[in-house]
Amino acid sequence: MKKTLMSSLLLGSVCMLFGCQTQFSPQEIVANAAETHQQPDQFYIESKIIYEGEEAINLFEWRNQDYYRINIVESLGQTVTIENPEQSLTYLEDENIALISNNHGEIVDEVHYLNDFYQLDDLYDLDFKLVDEDEWNGRDAYHLLLEGADEQVKLVVDQSTWMILMWERGPLRTEIIKFETNPDFDGVFDFEVPTSAEVLHLDHEQNVLTPEEAQQLFSSDVRLLTDDYELWEIYVLSEEEVMLEYFKDQSPYVVMTIGETQNDTVVENNELIDQLELFTTVDVYELPGETFVLTFEDEGNYYEVFAEDANVTVDDLIAFI
């Protein structure tokens, strides 16, 4: 880090001589971007996520002091989420399902997707460099390059709000297309669930089941898997689907969903079937952040096991089931 410190001192000297605009070191800029509470409490943002050069997800976000809305548009369709102190509503357009829960008067605490989703703590061991202070889509911005032995991260940070306007790390790139700090919110937080949609109320008190109640939803025995793990709670998702949360060593460990209808996303995985001859078909896939999901079928039911703890490996999931 001595190299980074000397670079920062040199930059400060150059700014004193030639009148650079910034009063912050590259490290301070990243630290300010990480402090999400410093960012505006009302805005409109259009952004996109690009993976390996191909645009994958488009995001549209609105926020004021009490309301938050995000539209996520991807190849599978659109998801709309609206949060306010009274309730949380998520509508999955492709599945025509609405999920509603009670917020019990709590003020919405969501922050902007880019600053919240990408944890910046693991970047502080890299060498920081302020490359430029050029505009980004009409906003004054800091352009930074963070480098290590086998790592390179590019960041563009808004000078007035500390919002991350662009992030590039490996094959993943996110960038803001449009950013307004005082938008017109007229009607944007109004949303009517289509009358044809299936509505699921996720209020905690109304949807917690006992193991006996969960079993009664299914025509055949289901695996509740309580041995060696603490079955924390069971939630009903629909008339034929439940979600179970398990703890290990008093910490959240995995979440398992059980459904009675066939899961069309389950595909054969021969490597895992060799270890799990008990089950008909098995599939495993990885989510961003190196967390894993394992799915299988048994006795006419499908199971999806999601690693709630980032330290849970595929072998741990196999041991669990």
Half-sphere exposure in the Cβ direction for 46 (13 Å, CA): 4
Radius of gyration of the chain from Cα atoms?
A: 24
Q: Hey, how many other C-beta atoms are within 10 angstroms of the C-beta on 74?
A: 14
pLDDT tens, position by position, 199-257: 877 665 556 778 888 888 888 888 777 677 888 888 777 777 888 888 887 788 888 88
Q: Strand ranges (DSSP E) for 170-240?
A: 172-180, 198-201, 208-209, 230-238
pLDDT score at 140: 93
User: What pTM does this model have?
Assistant: 0.58
Task: State residue 289's pLDDT score.
Answer: 52
Q: What is the DSSP letter of 238?
A: E
**pLDDT at residue 16, as a whole number:** 36
DSSP string for residues in 54-109: EEEEEEEEEE-SS-EEEEEEETTEEEEEEE-SSEEEEEETTTTEEEEEE-TTPPP-
Predicted local distance difference test score (pLDDT) of residue 20:
46
Which portions of the chain are predicted below pLDDT 70?
A: 1-22, 36-37, 104, 106-119, 121-122, 202-207, 226, 261-291
- pLDDT one-digit tens code per residue, 66-81: 888 999 998 878 999 9
In sequence order, what DSSP letters do the residues of 97-152 get, joined into one string? EEEEEE-TTPPP----HHHHHS--GGGTTSEEEEEE--EETTEEEEEEEEE-SS-E
Mapped onto helix, strand or coil, the DSSP state of residue 209 is strand
What is the structure's pLDDT at 233? Answer: 81
- The whole-number pLDDT of residue 269 equals 43
| pLDDT computed for residue 300 by the predictor | 77
